[in-house]
């Protein structure tokens, strides 16, 4: 039995290592060292964007608690990072994880100005969130999962980073042919059912869905098995 389990783990590791990109080039603009944070702040932090407009309700539904260690995956300009920082308090920790160095420098500056000493920035890769094993209680992924170029590999590292029983919060665009915008249909590779299946296949179980906050996006909660 032990040998079979080891063999299964090795096969899984090999499969993840050989995983093909699901959407080559989707993160090129964020890997550009000339990325202008000001331009992206205008795009991300505007009332016309549902996520920004409902940011307080989203943060409350996520439920960060004092002393909790959590990760803001794909933190971007830090829209939620400081809110989470206040919620977990001095005894808590917020890892702001992103693939763009310029975003992380911006978040560092925002955290410093707000005296948020519990915020730590993490530069991730296309295949790894780069967080220590069993380092977080909760992971928050908002309008970012569709940017996971190697979802199997990335989810494997996220599963490892979460403590047993830790939770993953997933918010992403509803992709419904005939209903969703042309932007969503062209930019987001798959709909909710596909993304949920990928997450559960990575060792998570769906525990809830928040349906009274967002209209253009869905909000699903998972627990690490």
What pTM value is reported for the model?
0.91
CATH class of 27-224: alpha beta
Give the pLDDT band of residue 18 (cuts 50, 70, 90). confident
Average pLDDT score over the chain:
93
Give the pLDDT band of residue 16 (cuts 50, 70, 90). low
pLDDT at 150 over 70: yes
pLDDT at 14 over 70: no
**Residue 7 has what pLDDT?**
40
Residue 83: partners with Cβ closer than 8 Å, 6 or more residues away? 55, 56, 59
Alpha-helical segments (H) within the chain? 2-17, 28-31, 37-44, 50-53, 55-62, 81-88, 101-113, 151-161, 182-187, 192-201
| Cα dist from 159 to 192, 204, 225, whole Å | 20, 8, 9
Give the pLDDT band of residue 49 (cuts 50, 70, 90). very high
Give the pLDDT band of residue 159 (cuts 50, 70, 90). very high
Residue 72's nearest CA partner among 112, 32, 25, 124 is 124
Instruction: Give per-residue pLDDT as tens, 104-147.
Output: 999 999 999 999 999 999 999 999 999 999 999 999 999 999 99
Residue 172's nearest CA partner among 137, 140, 149 is 140
Enumerate the domain spans of the chain. Answer: 27-224
């Amino acid at each position: 039995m032990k040998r079979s389990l080891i063999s299964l783990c090795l096969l899984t590791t090999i499969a993840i290592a050989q995983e093909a990109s699901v959407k080559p080039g989707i993160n090129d603009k964020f890997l550009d060292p000339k990325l202008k944070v000001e331009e992206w702040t205008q795009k991300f932090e505007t009332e016309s964007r549902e996520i920004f407009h409902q940011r307080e309700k989203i943060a409350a539904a996520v439920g960060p608690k004092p002393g909790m260690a959590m990760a803001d995956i794909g933190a971007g300009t830090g829209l939620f990072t400081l809110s989470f920082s206040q919620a977990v308090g001095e005894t808590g920790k917020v890892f702001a994880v992103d693939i763009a160095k310029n975003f992380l420098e911006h978040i560092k500056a925002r955290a410093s100005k707000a005296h948020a000493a519990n915020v730590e920035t993490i530069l991730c890769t296309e295949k790894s969130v780069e967080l220590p094993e069993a380092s977080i209680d909760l992971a928050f992924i908002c309008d970012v999962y569709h940017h996971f170029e190697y979802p199997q590999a990335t989810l494997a590292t996220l599963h490892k980073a979460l403590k047993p029983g830790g939770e993953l919060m997933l918010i992403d665009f509803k992709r419904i042919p005939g209903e969703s915008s042309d932007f969503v249909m062209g930019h987001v590779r798959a709909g909710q059912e596909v993304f949920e299946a990928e997450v559960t296949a990575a060792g998570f179980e769906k525990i809830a869905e928040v349906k009274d906050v967002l209209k253009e996006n869905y909000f699903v909660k998972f627990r690490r098995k």
